[in-house]
Amino acid sequence: MAQQLEDVKEKKKPNKLIIIIIIMSFIILIGAISMVFIATDITLSDVISKFQKHEEYVIPLDSFVVNLDTEGKGSTYLKTQMSLLYTEEDYGKVLENKTSQIRDLIIKDLMDYKPDDLLVEGGLAAAKVKIRTSINVALGEDMVKEIFFTDFLIQ
């Protein structure tokens, strides 16, 4: 009987130790997270906004046929169709009203490319960045978040 009581007492001690270890780990974890927030100037609202779902809207543009830069060695055409992704509903009206200006910018940007520039790995991604940047600069605001090519043919 006395031996059973000693066994019960011995079992309780590790439970206290485990609880203390868990509590200390939790305190260290909270301290580490706090230090990250303090060191990087990240606020809680920044973290929450990353996990919130944002509405996304897409405006399709008519197809483009553009002469690519071949440096006088014949003629090469690019036929493409694009869509613009934006996240604010109000931007849709602005983008629709300035479609002609946007199309002009896209045509100018695409005419600067050589066929090999677009066909090389990463070339299309670079074109997307250049087009998106020039549209946003012309509009004076970061409206377009992404460019999607829905049709792409070089001939």
Cβ pair 113, 94 in contact under 8 A: no
Dump pLDDT digits (tens) for 95-124.
Answer: 999 999 999 999 999 888 888 888 889 888
Predicted structure pTM score: 0.64
Average pLDDT per block of 10 residues along the chain, 155 residues long: 56 73 93 80 72 82 86 83 90 90 91 86 90 92 91 87
Task: Write the pLDDT tens digit of every residue in 116-133.
Answer: 888 889 888 999 999 999
H helix runs in the chain, sequence order: 2-40, 44-51, 91-97, 99-111, 115-119, 123-139
Closest CA to 107 of 59, 48, 62: 62
Rg (CA), the chain: 29
The distance of Cα 5 from the centroid of its chain, to the nearest Å, equals 62
Long-range contacts of 12-17 (CB under 8 A, 24+ apart): none
